[in-house]
Amino acid sequence: MSTQTAPVTPSVAPQSSGALKRFFAPDNRYLAPILITCILLAGHLSFGILESYQKTVLAIVTSIAAELVLGWLLMRKWLHPASAYITGISVGILVRSPAYWPYVVCSLLSISSKYVLRLKNRHIWNPSNFGISVLLFLAPETVATLSIQWGNNVWPMLVIWVLGSVIIWRVRRFNITATYVLSFIAFAFVRSWITGSPWLSEIAPLTGPMYQLFIFFMITDPKTTVRNRTAQCVVAFLIAVVEMILRLEQIVYAPFYALFLVGPAAFLIEMWWDSRHAAAKVPAVA
């Protein structure tokens, strides 16, 4: 949930001069930050979804500051803050804690993981997924995540679904979201059959804002997903599989942990595959 601003596939410059089309162009690095900000503001002004403005601002400022400092220290350049902004705002929305320190620690963990946990010059964990998962695992007495509805009608949910789908479609990652959602629904029926719980209760999490942010902004992060579109669908399916297993073990934050486990594994396999493929090509060239 950090680098939606950097599409993997090079895009063709839009021919249309329409402002709307330009805004939704996949190479608009401000698209995701603006939309996630709109979602946050709409959610908070309507329903007070945030713990507080201060905590969200703290998470954003910490993220951006960490990105700027680490970028300068390690690369000697000032990085664009859009990616760190999304990480910060994600932490601000998803982390629920009465304390201030988790917002600082989570933001620092998320951003610094990009620079520390690297392989072949690529970071392997989605930053905010890493930060939130670590915090949920190590500080359960202080930290939870957003797990409730925004309001009590269906409209906020529909707005986020539509907006999210548009963005994801434009950045050519709708296949990931669609595969995950369909897999989740299918596995919800399986879980219902196994546990005897009403199937609507198994579907219920998918209707909440935490999942909407998870499926639109986190599992689709271009920097930490595999490149091949079929492989992307397979990975999304595997995330849903691992999540189902964790859910059968009654683990509340199953989606975060599933992505935490599957995402880097898929990424490493892709790197191994690429290097093997490249090695196979070398003799032919030679």
Partner 1 sequence: MKQGRITKLVLAVIFAGLVISPLVIKRISSARDSGSVKLDAKEALAHHGFYLEEVSRSAGVNFVHQAPTLDHKLDHIMPQVASMGAAVSIVDFDRDGWPDIYVTNSGEGSKNVLYRNQHDGTFKDVASEMGIADVNQPGTGVSMGAVWGDYDNDGYEDLFLYKWGRPELFHNDQGHGFTRVTDQAGLPPWLNANTAIWLDYDGDGLLDLFIGGYYSEKIDLWHLADTRMMPESFEYAKNGGRKYLLHNLGGGRFEDATEKAGIDSRRWTLAASAADLRGTGHPDLFIANDYGISELYFNDGKRFHNVGERTGVGFAPKSGMNAAFGDIFNRGAYAIYVSNISEDGVLIQGNNLWVPKEGTSGDTLHYDNLARDLGVELGGWSFGAQFGDLNNDGTLDLYLTNGYVSLDRSRSYWYDFSKIAGGNTFIIGDAKNWPAMEGRSLSGYQHKRVWMNDGAGKFIDVAQSVGVTDTYDGRSVALVDLWNRGVLDVVAANQRGPLLIYKNTVAPENQWIEFDLEGTSSNRSAIGAQVTLFWNGQQQVQEVSGGSGFCAQNQRRLHFGLGKDAKIEKAVIRWPSGEVQTVESPAVNQAHKIKEAA
- Report, in Å, the least distance between residue 133 CB and partner 1: 11
The helix (H) or strand (E) run that includes residue 119 is: strand 118-119
- In whole angstroms, the minimum distance from the beta carbon of 186 to partner 1 comes to 17
252 binds partner 1 (CB under 8 A): yes
Applying CB under 8 A, which of residues 201, 268, 274, 281 lies at the interface with partner 1? 201
Identify the sign of the CA torsion 106, 85, 51, 99.
positive
Instruction: Decide: helix, strand or coil at residue 276.
Output: helix
Q: What is the SS3 assignment for 122? A: strand
Residue 190 in contact with partner 1, rule: CB under 8 A: no
Any contact of residue 42 with partner 1 (CB under 8 A)? no
Rank residues 91 and 134 by Cβ distance to partner 1 and give the closer one: 134
**Is residue 118 helix, strand or coil?**
strand
Query: Among 12, 160, 13, 9, which residue's Cα sits nearest to residue 93?
Result: 160
Q: Which two tokens stand for residue 4?
A: 């939606």
65: its two tokens: 């500051």
Smallest distance from partner 1 to CB 110, Å: 10
Residue 221 CA from chain centroid, whole number: 6
Q: Is 141 or 277 the residue whose CB approaches partner 1 more closely?
A: 141
Pairing of strands 144-145, 95-96: antiparallel
Q: Which parts of 57-86 interact with partner 1 (CB under 8 A)?
A: 70, 73-74
Checking DSSP bridges between strand 95-96 and strand 118-119, what pairing results, if any?
Answer: unpaired
Min dist. Cβ of residue 16 to partner 1 (A): 36
Binding mask 131-160 for partner 1 (x = CB under 8 A): ---xxx-xxxxxxx--xxxxxxxx--x---
Phi, psi for 232 (deg, rounded to 5): -60, -45
The answer to the question of residue 263 lying near partner 1 (CB under 8 A) is no
Question: Structure tokens of 76?
Answer: 């000697």
Scanning residues 96 to 135, which ones bind partner 1 (CB under 8 A)? 96-99, 101-102, 105, 108-109, 112-113, 115-116, 134-135
Among 207, 273, 275, 281, indicate the residue that binds partner 1 (CB under 8 A): 207
- Segment near partner 1 (CB under 8 A), from 3-11, 45-53, 57-65, 237-245? 45-53
Q: How many CA atoms lie within 13 A of 191 on its CB side?
A: 25
Q: Cα–Cα distance between 218 and 220 in angstroms, integer?
A: 5
Number of residues that bind partner 1 (CB under 8 A): 57
What residues make contact with partner 1 under the rule CB under 8 A?
47-48, 50-52, 70, 73-74, 96-99, 101-102, 105, 108-109, 112-113, 115-116, 134-136, 138-144, 147-154, 157, 195-198, 200-205, 207-208, 210-211, 250-252
